[in-house]
Amino acid sequence: MNKEDLIPGVSFLEDGTACVVLWAPKADTAAILLNDKEQLPLNKVEKGYWTLTTDIIKPFDKYSFLLDGTKQLPDPASRSQPDGVHGQSQAIDLKSFEWKTTEWQATPLQDYIIYELHTGTFTPEGTFEGIKNKLQHLKELGVTAIEIMPVAQFPGGRNWGYDGVFPFAVQNSYGGASGLMKLVDACHKHGLAVILDVVYNHVGPEGNYFNEFGSYFTDKYRTPWGNAINFDDAGCDEVRNYFVQNVLMWFRDFKIDALRLDAVHAIKDFGPKHILQEMREAVDELMAQTGRTHYLIIEFDLNDKRFIDPIKEHGYGMDAQWIDEFHHALRVTAGGERNGYYSDFEGIKHLAKSYRDAYVYDGIYSEERQKTFGTKTDNPGSQFVVFSQNHDHVGNRMLGERSSVLFSSSMQKLMAAAVMVSPYLPMLFMGEEYSEQNPFLYFVSHGDQELIEAVRKGRKEEFKAFHVQGEAPDPQSESTFTKSKLNWGSMAQEQQQDMLQYYKTLIRLRKTLPALSNPERQKLSVTYNDTQQTLQLHRWKDGNQVYCFMNFSKQPQQIEPPADALKMALNSAKNNDHPKNIIQPESIIIYTNKYV
């Protein structure tokens, strides 16, 4: 069989003919049960595949697979699960969507200013349609790309998305495939790129029927979520094809601009060609065919530049990666707790190193890991995504507190600026731009009572040392979910408006000052004073000079401002009435020779 014949699930040709592809090497017979009435036998072909080409199956027909005449199961490559993870699958024609924004030109990666959001809590509606209604706000804010947390079908209607069990199906309660396509179309109309968070390191527990079909998992390795996906054991060719085809579907059929691959350090693949490289090669081939540009961004904590190096330089070819280390160093510098994964970070010293070297641990000894860790990297700044908060670092706190609750307004502004003036791709977490006060908690809506109790127990165990703060919120409770929704009504308040205008100013500076939008990490110098808790960042590009003075202390500090020829572009302190060589506590001053 050719690659083009191995698109799993039910798909439709231009003439309306349905093509069925199922990998079920464990089965002796296989059929598709259509609308609970008609059985259509599948034809067994090589490597455990079963196929059928027919004009009997129509879009919106419901179906399931019947293995060995007894096992009735949803399609592991279902494009739609209208009745949830345990219900029948639904055939839909992804090619039939009528795109309105047909001349979309992809935003260059180096111009990405990312806004991460969760569909269910971003708006009162908790749907793709709700996001569409807020696109004008995001456009006016100045971000250039939205990143949507995972939307693969998960149990119930409340979940972060990392428990998805149907990687090809879009969550029905969000609006399904058509709802996501309409959102992408609207984003492109507003000039916004779309990044979709996808999970290829594990599959959720409830509604996970993969083992009924074939060896999708291997017991050779373990991940924090159970057995690893089988990328290098017996039967892995077909598993690899399944996930490569998933990548291609998002780009080809949904016109997604970039994928953010969750926790790729938990992908276990010791074969001769890493699955990430295979995905890169498949995407390159697709781009050559369509002329459209797509990016692969990874969440990754191994500090191994091989993952983001080009294939021709013996890398895996990923376009960019998240670097938590910048976040960790920034939070400790800002006065945040220094425990857990923060314990390895020395505040302003490591923040300065992250500005300069990207990786903090780049071949130096880590006390927490008790080993030498990481590699040095000369990759451009556009290959790194940085942030002062994200869904993990907020939601994995017991009470889900945002920076707006943990830090003063002045420190929030300083942290936001520290991200925005970096040589890396800046990312905001939803609501950050107006100092949202509501938490972002961990929530689920499982149907399996044993699983519900296990999640509750695990959450309590994780935070048993924090009992003085009370009980961890119940992840299964609907109130935990509703408490996590953004309070858009609060944006009218003075403090929220002040923060919103500040973020708009920051983003405008990032876009209009060549020195700040320049991804060349060599055109940067950084110095710091550990005693004063001050940091000076100097960046330049084509004659544009930018000096950023940051004071993380709670006292005014002395600085050496640049020459008079440079103008002040920003002072985050409300009290600006002070000598020129003094910077107020918890503030940043930006000077430039280009007036903005």
Catalytic residues: 262, 299
Any residues with CB less than 8 A from the CB of 464 and at least 6 apart, and which?
none
3-state secondary structure (DSSP) of residue 322: strand
Distance between CA atoms of 426 and 440, rounded to whole angstroms? 20
Angle 445-259-104 from CA coordinates, rounded to 5°: 120
* Residue 56, number of CB atoms within 10 A of its CB: 12
Distance between CA atoms of 102 and 107, rounded to whole angstroms? 15
Distance between CA atoms of 439 and 190, rounded to whole angstroms? 29
Distance between CA atoms of 591 and 51, rounded to whole angstroms? 65
Percentage helix, strand, coil for the chain under 3-state DSSP, each rounded to 5: 35, 20, 45
Give CA torsion, residues 70, 76, 82, 88, to 10 deg.
-10
Distance between CA atoms of 88 and 62, rounded to whole angstroms? 6
3-state secondary structure (DSSP) of residue 117: strand
Residue 330 to residues 191, 305, 585, Cα–Cα distance (Å): 31, 22, 16
Cβ(294)–Cβ(317) below 8 Å: no
Q: Which residue's structure tokens are 């690893």?
A: 228
Distance between CA atoms of 219 and 230, rounded to whole angstroms? 9
- Alpha carbon 72 to chain centroid distance? 34
Distance between CA atoms of 349 and 353, rounded to whole angstroms? 6
**In terms of Cα–Cα distance, which of 107, 207, 110, 46 is closest to 423?**
110
Distance between CA atoms of 268 and 273, rounded to whole angstroms? 12
